[in-house]
Amino acid sequence: MTLEIITADALTPLRHGFFTRRGGASSGVFAGLNCGPGSSDQAEIVTINRARVAEAMQVAADHLVTVHQVHSADVVQVAAPLDARPRADALVTATPGLALAILTADCQPVLFADPEAGVIGAAHAGWRGARDGVLEATIEAMEAIGAARARITAVIGPSISQRNYEVGPELLEDFLADDPESARFFANGTGDRYQFDLPGYGLWRLLRAGVGHADWTRHCTYADPDRFYSYRRATHEGAADYGRLISAIRL
């Protein structure tokens, strides 16, 4: 099966893609394009899947650059392939021929570009990273190597949607303590539960930061098991593990 790659008109002409799970070599609960070395999938199969992504991005396998994601607001500036994956949740570069990639399974994969400056970025933004400022930190890191935030386009890829993201009252309290305006992204759920709009919150943070354009592809990872991996869906189903989607961009 060929790879399925979701693209965004706003990021053209740069080569980029939010890859679905279709077209990979993994099997079982990982069936498809599992690109997560942190999963319990066979390491050699994950390597094959990542090589397919690198080929689709038209880079060598070692030029598909990822980090060890830890739900932080830390950003790494990349100028060459990395020997090891630093602990961070976003990458930026002005070096042609490098593909910056992020792994997700409900959290937001966000791809950034200022084509005029020749600067790109990629960020992993779950609720914790987004609240703690990983999106703004990525923008600042891009500015440090020549981007202008008013020219930056940011696109959020497949993420868990509000209707499928139930959270407890403690999360609402944490967000309100951080910024009372974030209340708008919580809707009443069952009992004391709330439904959190993660991509809506991400868009709000991006636009408030002053990027020139921001949007979401409007794909829900939880609701479409044929195309996307989902940590929350795997948890609800009692699965032993789950695959990781990959999203990438290059100059």
Both tokens of 46, joined, read 């994950």
202/192 same-domain check:
no
Whether 80 is covered by a domain: the verdict is yes
Name the β-bridge partners of 121: 92, 112
pTM of the model: 0.97
Output the domain CATH number for residue 130. Answer: 3.60.140.10
> How sure is the predictor about 63, in pLDDT bands with cuts at 50, 70 and 90?
very high
Position 218 scores a pLDDT of 97
Cis omega (within 30 of 0) for bond into 169? no
List, in sequence order, every beta strand (DSSP E) within the chain: 5-6, 16-19, 64-65, 75-77, 90-93, 99-104, 108-114, 119-125, 153-156, 166-167, 186-188, 194-196, 213-216, 245-250
**Cα–Cα dist 111/104, whole Å:** 13
Q: Are residues 121 and 192 in the same domain?
A: no
One domain, residues 109 and 207: yes
Same domain, yes or no, for 54 and 114? Answer: yes
User: Chain centroid to CA 118: how far?
Assistant: 21
133 with 18, same domain: the answer is yes
**Does residue 4 lie in a domain region?**
no
Q: Is the pLDDT score of 1 beyond 90?
A: no
* 34 and 114 together in one domain: yes
In this structure, is residue 220 part of a structural domain?
A: yes
Is 49 part of a structural domain of the chain?
Answer: yes
pLDDT category at 244 given cuts 50, 70, 90 is very high
Any domain includes 38: yes
1 belongs to a structural domain: no
Residues 192 and 204 in one domain: no
Give domain status of residue 223, yes or no. Answer: yes
One domain for residues 174 and 62: no
**What would the pLDDT profile of 162-212 be if each residue is shown by its tens digit?**
999 999 999 999 999 999 999 999 999 999 999 999 999 999 999 999 999
Regarding whether 230 and 127 lie in a shared domain, the answer is: yes
Residues 184 and 94 in one domain: no
The tally of domains found in the chain comes to 2
Residues 35 and 128 in one domain: yes
Domain with 173 in it? 165-196
Please tell me the predicted confidence (pLDDT) of residue 111.
Answer: 98
